[in-house]
Amino acid sequence: MVLSKLFSSSRSRDKENEKKYIINGYPLTISPVVPDILKHQVEFKKWNRDPQDLVGFTLAHAGSDLVNRESLEMFRKKLLEWLKNDQYFCRNFRTKFPKNLIAISVAFINFELGESCQEYKLMNNVENSGNGHFTYRKLSECIQCTYYNDMGVEFLAGITFYPAPHGKPKILKSNYALLYMANCSHIKYPLGDRHKSWGMTQGKLYGRFCSTARKHVVLTCSQDDGVPRHYEFDHVTKKYKRSLCKECCEEFFTYKWEEPEKDTPANPVVIVEESIPAAVTVTDSESSAVSLANSTESLAESFERIDVSSDVESNIDGAELID
């Protein structure tokens, strides 16, 4: 009985600590965080959607049962939502994932998988400036994003999902929402005119890095007044809501797109009235963390917001992962 209470208390503390990091933000790093569960890896299998190595499975020994089944199933359903426009490719993921699956990797548009669950690269047919580099940020203990940094913008290259190990917090609703937001807020590489993006033309939504919120955010434009609002998930109430942001409103109404010159300078910039903040650069070669000074402090102090709704989850997750 005493041991049971101790384990229950430990799991509760783990859950509360993780939620604090989810809300306040994990630091940006120049190398991926490697979870303990990867020590069980024996195989990395890639699923190709010609010409892109799109999905990767990291597997432990056959017969292993190391992760929570609900956590695995949640990501499988999200993956099917992302790929719903290609039902032929979805056939690979219609049955439950194997118990020995310990990591799932998904590449985003114009990127593909490398040779491990945390490695992503530009596709061969995609032009690049030659100045880009990769950085990494966890969204939770289960989710790690890989970003390609170029022209002062963080482009989402891929998401690696680690199903919750047995005995660890699953936080299913929060992880589902984080995946949802990461997909809807990602900026397609190479940078293009926001007004012509799929999200804006089909759903009046777009993503950007908000320096006030210190994270990538989804913005939806109201049909009533055309003003963009943050679309967020409250990890305490477990409800979605919209809120005004001064920074994002000013950027929206001053945004201007100009086609970049063919002869790109060594250090290209985003041609907008207020440029999207660049990822912080590491100056200490011995440190892998690129953490903002207040990366784990509450965002509430600096995030000026006016809540306007809502209790109902939006259906804006139609911002597809694949064209």
Mark the ranges of the chain whose per-residue pLDDT is less than 50: 2-4, 6-8, 263-323
**How long a stretch of residues is the chain?**
323
What mean pLDDT, rounded, does the chain reach?
81
Q: What is the pLDDT of residue 275?
A: 28
**pLDDT tens digits, one per residue of 52-90:** 999 999 999 999 999 999 999 999 999 999 999 999 999
- Continuous H helices in 150-285: 172-185, 198-203, 246-254
Tell me what percent of the residues of the chain surpass a pLDDT of 70.
77
Beta strand residue intervals within the chain, DSSP E: 28-29, 43-49, 52-59, 101-107, 111-113, 120-122, 133-138, 143-150, 153-161, 205-210, 215-221, 228-234, 239-243, 289-290, 307-309
pTM of the entire predicted model: 0.79
Q: What pLDDT score was predicted for residue 323?
A: 39
- Among 175, 171, 200, which residue's Cα sits nearest to residue 187? 200
What pLDDT, on a 0 to 100 scale, did the predictor assign at position 239? Answer: 96
What is the reported pLDDT for 9? 53
Per-residue pLDDT, 261: 66
The residues, any chain, with a CB within 8 Å of residue 173's CB and separated by 6 or more, are 238
Q: What is the pLDDT of residue 211?
A: 94
